């Protein structure tokens, strides 16, 4: 079962790995033997390995080089063809910002220089960094003021597809977003080439808080001018080349301000191999939903020569789909045979949460503490709340180190909410994630996490307008 999974390449903590393959190594764990015996007889791997006694705090383990990276956040210009040139806020004058790519276990030292007219910070979305490196203004650090610098320093681990972005106000909708790829030491799948796809919504000018209430949506959508893949509108799409017979790995990321997408590649199936960076048993689908802050890695087999539309359609709002082109180098045509207006995702299998099964052991011990959170807002008021409170006028969610915490969410509003927990992965069903979409109209989602990384951890809706209007809390254990 799991013996082919090598070490930390799939995010196994070394101690878990030892427990998997060297039963003798677990004798230090009080309840170890019985648990091992029980779990080895199941085909789902181990569970309940970490109990309170065996609890171990998360620690950084550097196992590679140290990489120094300099980022400058500054006002710059971007061309969004065919609309024109816009002044906006950028990392190193690029949009999306420059990809950071390292190997699992390498240490990242990123110095951020702020040349913006306002304070900013960077959040390393998905990576369980030490709390002081988490980049949440007013929670883990002060805003980096104009003209000042800040050095982020953390070990990039585990491997996976992540994002980095500003965590100040609505700055995500300025353009302060970028991919962060932590490569596996041993690839989790075989592939011939790889592309990163950044799905985004395009807002010219300054993002402003949205008024409350109105319309069928029970909440407003910002005045976006279109949807982007890698910074390009459908009229001038990015083209991704392939050859017949290749396997392509797409890292699909949604750093957008307020758009959930349905993603698909015309004429091709998606084999999903990772969710929020964590490897899963491959599952073959035709399309998938991806909320703000989520990432999926998929393998596409290039078996259908031609030029095809890669489409990402908004679930809320009415912008036309973002699109790009998958083009076989030997294809006669360069224009997709199926364009984004006719490629409507009719039929086909859509990825569901229940399809996701982590390749690594997921723990299912009974929770030590359960928190019920009601998400609401969007009607009559511009506030978005958790249990009736709008952050920052909201109580911290107190937990204790070493606890297994269960969070049960119910969505009383008419919009969906991609809820993101900083500093931890959580178990949802049979998989691990850091962001999960809670469906509208009484949708329910439960997840568990182990409080093994002390600090103050932001937990919020990744629709930045909802976050800024209160749909956020802090899990606190120090």
Nearer to ligand C2O, 460 or 466 (CB): 460
By three-state DSSP, how is residue 172 classified?
Answer: helix
Q: What is the largest CA-CA distance in the chain?
A: 65
H/E segment holding residue 467: helix 464-468
Smallest distance, ligand C2O to C-beta of residue 103, A: 22
Per-residue binder mask for ligand C2O (CB under 6 A), 113-142, x = binder: ----------x-x-----------------
Nearer to ligand C2O, 292 or 310 (CB): 292
Smallest distance, Cu ion to C-beta of residue 384, A: 6
Tally the C-alpha atoms within 13 A of residue 116's C-alpha that lie toward its C-beta: 27
Q: Using the rule CB under 6 A, is 167 a contact of ligand C2O?
A: yes
Q: Specify whether the CB–CB gap between 360 and 435 falls below 8 A.
A: no
Q: Which of 82, 79, 81, 110 is nearest to 93 (CA)?
A: 79
Q: Which of ligand C2O, Cu ion, none has residue 165 at its interface (CB below 5 to 8 Å by kind)?
A: ligand C2O
From residue 399, give the alpha-carbon distance in Å to each of 35, 71, 373, 444, 453: 26, 35, 14, 22, 12
Q: Count Cβ atoms within 10 A of the Cβ of residue 345 and give its class: 0-12 exposed, 13-18 middle, 19 or more buried.
A: middle
Q: Using the rule CB under 6 A, is 174 a contact of ligand C2O?
A: no
Pairing of strands 417-421, 435-438: antiparallel
Which of residues 19, 103, 107, 165 is near ligand C2O by CB under 6 A? 165
Q: Which of 266, 264, 267, 310 is nearest to 288 (CA)?
A: 264
Q: Which of Cu ion, ligand C2O, none has residue 178 at its interface (CB below 5 to 8 Å by kind)?
A: none
Which of residues 32, 97, 175, 293 is near ligand C2O by CB under 6 A? 293
Q: Using the rule CB under 6 A, is 19 a contact of ligand C2O?
A: no
Please tell me the distance from the alpha carbon of residue 245 to that of residue 162, in angstroms, as a whole number.
28
Smallest distance, Cu ion to C-beta of residue 416, A: 7
Nearer to ligand C2O, 251 or 420 (CB): 420
Nearer to ligand C2O, 162 or 202 (CB): 162
From residue 354, give the alpha-carbon distance in Å to each of 2, 271, 427: 20, 15, 12
Q: Using the rule CB under 5 A, is 463 a contact of Cu ion?
A: yes
Pairing of strands 404-411, 431-433: unpaired
Tokens 């909708």 belong to which residue? 173
Q: Using the rule CB under 5 A, is 466 a contact of Cu ion?
A: yes
Among 88-96, 314-322, 349-357, 454-462, which window interacts with ligand C2O (CB under 6 A)? 454-462
Q: Using the rule CB under 6 A, is 424 a contact of ligand C2O?
A: no
- What is the residue-wise DSSP string for 410-433? EE-SSS-EEEEESS--EEETBEEE
Please tell me the distance from the alpha carbon of residue 370 to that of residue 356, in angstroms, as a whole number.
23
Nearer to ligand C2O, 130 or 305 (CB): 130
Q: Which of ligand C2O, Cu ion, none has residue 406 at its interface (CB below 5 to 8 Å by kind)?
A: none
Nearer to Cu ion, 453 or 463 (CB): 463
Give residues 414-433 in contact with Cu ion (rule: CB under 5 A): 417
Helix then strand count (H, E) for the chain reads: 3, 30
Which of residues 103, 251, 295, 460 is near ligand C2O by CB under 6 A? 460
# binding residues, ligand C2O (CB under 6 A): 10
Q: Using the rule CB under 6 A, is 417 a contact of ligand C2O?
A: no
Cα 236 to the center of its chain, rounded Å: 26
Which of residues 458, 465, 475, 477 is near ligand C2O by CB under 6 A? 458
Nearer to ligand C2O, 234 or 293 (CB): 293
Q: Kindly state the tokens that stand for 8.
A: 């930390």
Q: Using the rule CB under 6 A, is 420 a contact of ligand C2O?
A: yes
Residue 132 is classified by DSSP as: G
Smallest distance, ligand C2O to C-beta of residue 255, A: 8
Q: Using the rule CB under 5 A, is 461 a contact of Cu ion?
A: yes
Q: Kindly state the tokens that stand for 443.
A: 């949708």
Q: Which of 127, 109, 129 is nearest to 64 (CA)?
A: 109
Among 178-186, 205-213, 214-222, 455-463, which window interacts with ligand C2O (CB under 6 A)? 455-463
Q: Which of Cu ion, ligand C2O, none has residue 463 at its interface (CB below 5 to 8 Å by kind)?
A: Cu ion
Cα 320 to the center of its chain, rounded Å: 23
Q: Count Cβ atoms within 10 A of the Cβ of residue 225 and give its class: 0-12 exposed, 13-18 middle, 19 or more buried.
A: middle
Q: Which of Cu ion, ligand C2O, none has residue 427 at its interface (CB below 5 to 8 Å by kind)?
A: none
Q: Using the rule CB under 6 A, is 473 a contact of ligand C2O?
A: no
Residue 97 is classified by DSSP as: P
Binding-site ranges for Cu ion (CB under 5 A): 417, 461, 463, 466
Binding positions for ligand C2O, rule: CB under 6 A: 123, 125, 165, 167, 293, 420, 422, 458, 460, 462
């Amino acid at each position: 079962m799991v013996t082919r999974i090598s070490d930390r390449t799939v995010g196994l903590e070394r101690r878990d790995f030892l427990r998997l393959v060297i039963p003798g190594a677990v004798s230090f764990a009080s309840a170890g033997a019985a648990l091992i015996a029980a779990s080895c007889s199941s085909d789902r791997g181990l569970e309940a390995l970490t109990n309170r006694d065996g609890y171990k705090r998360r620690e950084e383990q550097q196992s590679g080089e140290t990489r120094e990276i300099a980022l400058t956040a500054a006002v710059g210009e971007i061309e969004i063809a065919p609309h024109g040139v816009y002044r906006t806020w950028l990392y190193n004058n690029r949009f999306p910002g420059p990809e950071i790519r390292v190997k699992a276990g390498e240490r990242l030292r990123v110095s951020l220089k702020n040349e913006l007219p306002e304070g900013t910070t960077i959040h390393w979305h998905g990576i369980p960094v030490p709390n002081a490196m988490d980049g949440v203004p007013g929670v883990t650090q002060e805003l980096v003021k104009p003209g000042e610098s800040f050095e982020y320093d953390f070990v990039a681990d585990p491997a996976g597809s992540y994002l980095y972005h500003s965590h100040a106000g609505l700055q995500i909708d300025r353009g302060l977003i970028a991919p962060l790829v932590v490569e596996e030491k041993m690839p989790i799948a075989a592939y011939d080439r790889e592309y990163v796809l950044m799905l985004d919504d395009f807002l010219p000018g300054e993002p402003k808080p949205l008024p409350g209430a109105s319309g069928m949506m029970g909440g407003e959508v910002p005045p976006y001018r279109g949807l982007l893949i890698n910074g390009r509108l459908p009229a001038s799409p990015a083209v991704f080349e392939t050859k017949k017979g290749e396997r392509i790995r797409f890292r699909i990321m949604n750093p957008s301000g307020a758009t959930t997408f349905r993603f698909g590649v015309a004429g091709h199936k998606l084999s999903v191999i990772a969710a929020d960076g964590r490897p899963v048993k491959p599952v073959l689908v035709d399309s998938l939903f991806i909320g703000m802050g989520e990432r999926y890695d998929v393998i596409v087999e290039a078996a259908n020569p031609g030029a095809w539309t890669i489409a990402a359609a908004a679930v809320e709002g009415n912008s036309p789909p973002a699109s790009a082109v998958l083009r076989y180098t030997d294809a006669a045509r360069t224009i997709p045979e199926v364009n984004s207006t006719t490629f409507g995702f009719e039929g086909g299998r859509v990825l569901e949460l229940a399809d996701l099964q982590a390749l690594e052991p997921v723990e299912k011990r009974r929770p030590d503490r359960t928190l019920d959170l009601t998400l609401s807002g969007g009607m009559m008021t511009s506030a978005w709340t958790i249990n009736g409170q709008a952050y920052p006028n909201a109580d911290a969610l107190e937990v204790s180190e070493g606890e297994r915490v269960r969070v049960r969410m119910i969505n009383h509003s008419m919009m969906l909410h991609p809820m993101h927990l900083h500093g931890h992965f959580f178990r949802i069903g049979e998989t691990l994630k850091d962001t999960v979409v809670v469906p509208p109209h009484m949708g329910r989602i439960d997840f568990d996490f182990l409080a093994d990384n002390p600090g103050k951890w932001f937990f919020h809706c990744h629709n930045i307008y909802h976050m800024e209007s209160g749909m956020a809390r802090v899990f606190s254990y120090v």
